[in-house]
Amino acid sequence: MHRRLVLSVPLALSGLVLTACTGGGPTSLTGRPAVGQAAPDPVATAVEPSSAAEAAPSLAGAGSPPASSLPSPSPARPRFTYDVAAAQRVLAAGRYYAGPIDGRSGPSLRSAVMAFQKVNGIGIDGAIGPGTLKALAAPKTPTLKGSSPADRVEVDLSKQVLYVVKAGKIVRIMPVSSGNGATYSQKDGTKATSLTPVGYYRILRRIVGERKADLGSLYDPQYFYRGWAIHGSNSVPAGPASHGCVRVTRPDAKYLLDALSNGMAVYLYGGAHTFAAGSSAPGTSNPTGDAPSGPVPASASPRPSSSPVATPSPAASSAPSPAASSPSPAASANPSPSAARR
């Protein structure tokens, strides 16, 4: 009788551990028994052990706490889920997304979400959370500051977004990153400030592919003022981070090669780290060394309208972003080896 009483204790504790982790039938995500299921009996029935089992020491060690005092694991936090394909359709209708409606997340969707968050004034992280999902159900209508020409590019440096405008309507919206206002050293050792020009310009020249410059690589750059360009980059954060150029993602830069052409109007406005058209950022007037010596006026220069021009609500259309109306002229594939601002 004495032997059975002593050895029934560890077996009962063992039954508690097994019951808490694996026994007792189906459970909810929090680890509690499912509705309608009775909680398993925490007491295990003791069985007459063999002589070898009686003599075996405990594997837990003398200093281990009893099994019943071990903390239970924390309940799993619920995951936020949403219909990716439905989000893609809304973003495509709003001209933020031009990828396939395939229900799969990826860099293109993240970039589109960042642009949407910037226009709608919500937290910018490129992820669809509860706040972004709510905004997708009732998106704000983006507005344009210019009114002409009908085909142009507008860069809102305050919101850090770029609008491609065709026939007076927005056909694409993408996130950008412009000059961050920091001071940096040029190749000759002189100091310059990372500012972005504001005003009216036009695309002067374009380069297909990678351009390696003193400050890093530029992908598919399209120059609009001296050495300043709209170009692809491997890093397009939520806010200003460049040396003065307008960064876009590399896929967006490829899109712009087809959507824009030499001579197309570019209108930049807003922002904090800027300088006026016709002047230069402090410390440099021509960072590439091979651009025209001054700005070239855009043909049919865009004019600010007396009030912002509202485009049709993106929620009203379910069609994906239209392609450019015609291919752009061939761009130079042989960049010169001089420095470039990025």
Domain co-membership, 37 together with 88: no
Q: Can you tell me the distance from the alpha carbon of 246 to that of 163, in angstroms, rounded to the nearest whole number? A: 12
The per-type count for the chain, helices as H runs and strands as E runs, is 6, 15
Q: Can you tell me the distance from the alpha carbon of 164 to that of 152, in angstroms, rounded to the nearest whole number? A: 6
Residue 24 CB: number of other CB atoms within 10 A? 17
- Identity at 68, one-letter amino acid code: S
User: Residue 213 belongs to a domain with what CATH number?
Assistant: 2.40.440.10
Among residues 93, 110, 137, which one ends one of the domains?
137
* 75: in domain: no
Per-residue pLDDT, 187: 84
- DSSP string covering 160-203, please? TEEEEEETTEEEEEEE-B-B---EEE-TTS-EEE--EEEEEEE-
- Residue 179, classified by CB atoms within 10 Å of its CB into exposed (0-12), middle (13-18) or buried (19+), is buried
Per-residue pLDDT, 66: 54
Q: Strand pairing of 274-276 and 246-249?
A: unpaired
Per-residue pLDDT, 218: 94
Domain co-membership, 177 together with 287: yes
Give the CB-side neighbour count of residue 67, counting CA atoms within 13 A. Answer: 17
pLDDT in tens, the chain (342 residues): 444 444 343 333 333 333 333 333 333 322 333 333 444 333 333 333 344 444 333 334 444 455 555 566 666 666 778 999 999 999 999 999 999 999 999 999 999 999 999 999 999 999 999 999 999 999 999 999 998 999 999 999 999 999 999 999 999 999 999 999 999 988 888 999 999 999 999 999 999 999 988 888 999 999 999 899 999 999 999 999 999 999 999 999 999 999 999 999 999 999 999 998 776 667 665 454 334 444 444 444 444 444 444 444 334 333 333 333 333 334 443 333 334 556
Domain co-membership, 132 together with 165: no
- The continuous run of DSSP H or E covering 218 comes out as strand 216-225
Q: Which of the 8 DSSP states describes residue 82?
A: -
* 243: in domain: yes
- Residue 47, classified by CB atoms within 10 Å of its CB into exposed (0-12), middle (13-18) or buried (19+), is exposed
Domain co-membership, 242 together with 213: yes
Tell me which residue range forms the domain holding 62.
Answer: 2-69
- DSSP string covering 311-326, please? PPPGGG--SPPPPPSS
| Tally of structural domains, the chain | 3
Domain co-membership, 176 together with 255: yes
Give the CB-side neighbour count of residue 255, counting CA atoms within 13 A. Answer: 22
Domain co-membership, 165 together with 265: yes
Domain co-membership, 132 together with 217: no
Domain co-membership, 286 together with 181: yes
Domain co-membership, 48 together with 109: no
Phi, psi values for residue 2, rounded to 5°: -65, -40
Domain co-membership, 284 together with 151: yes
Contact 277, 198 (CB under 8 A): yes
* 194: in domain: yes
* 338: in domain: no
- Is pTM beyond 0.75? Reply is no
Q: Can you tell me the distance from the alpha carbon of 113 to that of 19, in angstroms, rounded to the nearest whole number? A: 46
